Amino acid sequence: MPDVLLVAATERELGGQDGLVCGIGPVEAAAATARALAQRDVGAVLHIGIAGGRGLDLGTLVIGSEAIYCDLAASIRLVDRVAPDARLLDAARRVLGDVPILPIGTTATVGGVARELVVEAMEGFGVLRAAALAGVPAIEVRAISNEIGEPDRGRWRIEDAVAALAAVVPHLVAATGSASRS
């Protein structure tokens, strides 16, 4: 039975779980995820990590309604959005309950998302796009560690966000695996 590939930018965000450390930024994330998907049979991708938020309480969990690549612009039509798999989205809702389901902006620059986006991260689009191209269902779940644009890193609550993820990741992995097999 294909397994769930748990993906996070850093070992710290994996919270002691087995998974792929994809590196920081959209390019590293896409390359590492694509390589992992080419090397093993995967039933689903669960991408987790911390994120900046605008007007969200620190520690809030967020399910991505889509990953939006904010660093890409041209006068021709581009692929700059990837939606999560609907079955995985439903599974995450069952596990997490009434958490926000919001677009998550992917940017290589801290503070680089458009004003209308309230969640900012650095890898989601790369991970979800690699999964989409491989035909593997995927979803992104984030925990808010800081206010977008907060320059004082001492006010960031990375450990609280990592703890919020760690508390739910085993349940998300189980639910994601079940949903990918249905």
Is 64 in a helix, a strand, or coil?
A: strand
Q: In the beta sheet, which residues pair with residue 152?
A: none
Token digits of residue 128: 């979800």
Those residues with Cβ within 8 angstroms of residue 6's Cβ, 6 or more apart along the chain or in another chain: 14, 17, 18, 19, 20, 46, 48, 169, 173
Euclidean distance between CA atoms 72 and 160, whole angstroms: 31
Digit-coded pLDDT (tens) for 102-117: 999 998 777 777 778 9
Domain boundaries, the chain: 3-181
Residue listed under structure tokens 């900012």:
120
Cα separation, 28 vs 123, whole angstroms: 8
Q: Counting Cβ atoms within 10 Å, is residue 159 exposed (0-12), middle (13-18) or buried (19+)?
A: exposed
Domain range 3-181, CATH architecture:
3-Layer(aba) Sandwich (3.40)
- The yes-or-no verdict on residue 73 having pLDDT over 80 is no
| pTM score | 0.94
**Segment 74-113, tens digit of pLDDT:** 666 777 899 999 999 999 999 999 999 999 999 877 777 7
